[in-house]
Chain A
Amino acid sequence: MRPLTYPLRNYGPVLATRSMGAEVAEHMRMNTIKATGVIVDFCDIRVASSPFLDELACTLRAMIADAPERFVLLANLNADLMDTLELVADRRDIVLTAVSNGELKTVGGTRQLDETLAAAEELGTFTAAELAERLELKLPNLHQRLAQLTAAGALTRSEDPSAKRGRRLLFKTPELDDRTPAGAC
């Protein structure tokens, strides 16, 4: 099933004020509950204020935590929006995931986290051990990054049915087709 695109353009080119941010964030949350993946589309948004984005970012964090089996991406962020979102994410210690030309990039993440995401994209579906090998990292060092990327909505995780003993998690980055918002921008 295709991910659900939530277009912010319905609210006009300026996204501002904390109360409107809270209103939009709640509407977004309520209307994406059943989606298998969510793309928040900033197409046609010129500017967004930090209080507005703060409300949106906090809601996105909660949405991702509530459903770690689906990814949540932000699309069509211009440089100005990216700057403000970075500022908000940094202050709240939140990491989110943006998609640009099909490539994933963290918002508010470190360089190491972006490198980890790039390696994860190359693997597509993987276990923690496979990614650790790819990055030449010890497994315990990778776990924190995987947790951050899952909390950022960049990775989904599910039980690996092929695990012969005990419990093993499979991580997955969104398919290329699932990174494009519905509708033209």
Chain B
Amino acid sequence: MGAGSVDSQWLSLAGDLRRHIAVQSLLAEGDESSELVIFASQVERVDAVGGAATLLRAGRHLEEHPSGQVMIVPPTRPSPAEQFLELLSPLPDGVVLTDAGSVPEPRRFALVPATLIPDDASAVAAAGFALEACERARISEVRTNLVGLAVAEIAGNALHHATGTQTPPAVAVTVSGRERVIEIAVVDLGTGISSAIDPAAALGAIPGPANGSGFLADLIRRGNKREIELSIEVMSGTATLRWRWDQHRTENQSFVPGTTVLVRIPA
């Protein structure tokens, strides 16, 4: 984790940069110095959450330090380095990636690179981009449509419901493995659920697909209708909601800031 210096703040990351570890490692602490160095050379595994959380950390830093800079040192191992590069390219102004190779085209991992979503139009544009990326990657129309909807709606939802933060949410979409599992991650820094007295109760109150009327319930229902058993994980504060068609359960965990929604769409 971070070790401060006089001029720049260092954030050292190693091993797993996925799921709640990524959110914890990247977003738990604020930045005092105007220059942030994210030292990820020892990272071995990264996912859509890791990519989105990295960009969100950079975005938050640049908001707090408008004339500051973020330098990212990518993983040294080729496979995570390539995935990390795909997730973070193109980089926003003020963020520099050292030792960066060229991004492979077509991208093999990041269907949608980590992207900040400042408004509804950006959420819909990201969804349009996701549709095209899925088509290029020859993903079935049914799964493609689920990806497009999930990106637009979850990012839009985060935009409107993430209270207590000025930093916009970040979204990223990846495809990986022989089965080409798609993961959509939306990470925000809202404190509404994460700082609630009982985050598990707040997440547990999200209505399930049996009688739920929310978008997440609809997404599961739509997948089920097309025989795609997608799953949703929502992490916020000290709670995680794990959700499949017939299972909707919350668990306690170590604290993560903000809210992260991860949708997993199997083949």
Where the two chains meet, the residues of A that have a C-beta atom closer than 8 Å to any C-beta of B are 12-20, 46-47, 49-51, 80, 83-84, 87, 91
Contact = CB atoms under 8 A, between A and B. Distances in A.
B128 A14 contact: yes
Given A47-B145, A51-B215, A83-B225, A17 B156 contact: yes
Given A14-B148, A47-B148, A20 B124 contact: yes
A33 B145 CA distance: 33
A14 B222 contact: no
Contacts of B215: 49-51
A16 B218 contact: no
A19 B120 contact: yes
Contacts, number: 63
B123 interface: yes
**Interface SS of B by simple majority:** helix
A47 B134 CA distance: 14
Given A19-B156, A47-B149, A14 B124 contact: yes
A46 B131 contact: yes
A16 B221 contact: no
B16 interface: no
Nearest to B146: A47
B153 interface: yes
B213 interface: yes
Contact of B153 (A13, A16, A80, A91): A16
Interface in B193-249: 213, 215, 218, 221-222, 225
Contacts of A14: 124, 127-128, 131, 148-149, 152
A53 B166 CA distance: 29
Given A12-B128, A16-B123, A46-B131, 11 more contacts: A13-B131, A16-B149, A17-B153, A17-B156, A20-B120, A46-B145, A47-B131, A47-B145, A47-B149, A50-B215, A84-B222
Contacts of A91: 213
B160 interface: yes
A125 to B, nearest CB: 38
Interface centre among A15, A16, A84, A87 (most CB of B within 10 A): A16
Nearest to B130: A14
Given A16-B153, A20-B120, A91-B213, A50 B145 contact: no
A23 to B, nearest CB: 9
Given A14-B152, A47-B145, A83 B222 contact: yes
Contacts of A12: 124-125, 128
Contacts of B218: 49-50, 84, 87
Contacts of B125: 12
B148 A46 contact: yes
Nearest to A16: B152
Given A17-B120, A84-B222, A87-B221, A49 B149 contact: yes
22 contacts: A12-B125, A12-B128, A13-B131, A14-B152, A16-B127, A16-B148, A16-B153, A17-B123, A17-B124, A18-B156, A20-B120, A20-B156, A46-B131, A46-B145, A47-B127, A47-B131, A49-B149, A50-B215, A51-B215, A83-B222, A84-B222, A87-B222
Contacts of A84: 218, 222
A47 B131 CA distance: 10
Nearest to A12: B128
B149 to A, nearest CB: 5
A17 B148 contact: no
Nearest to A14: B127
Interface in B146-192: 148-149, 152-153, 156-157, 160
A50 B214 CA distance: 9
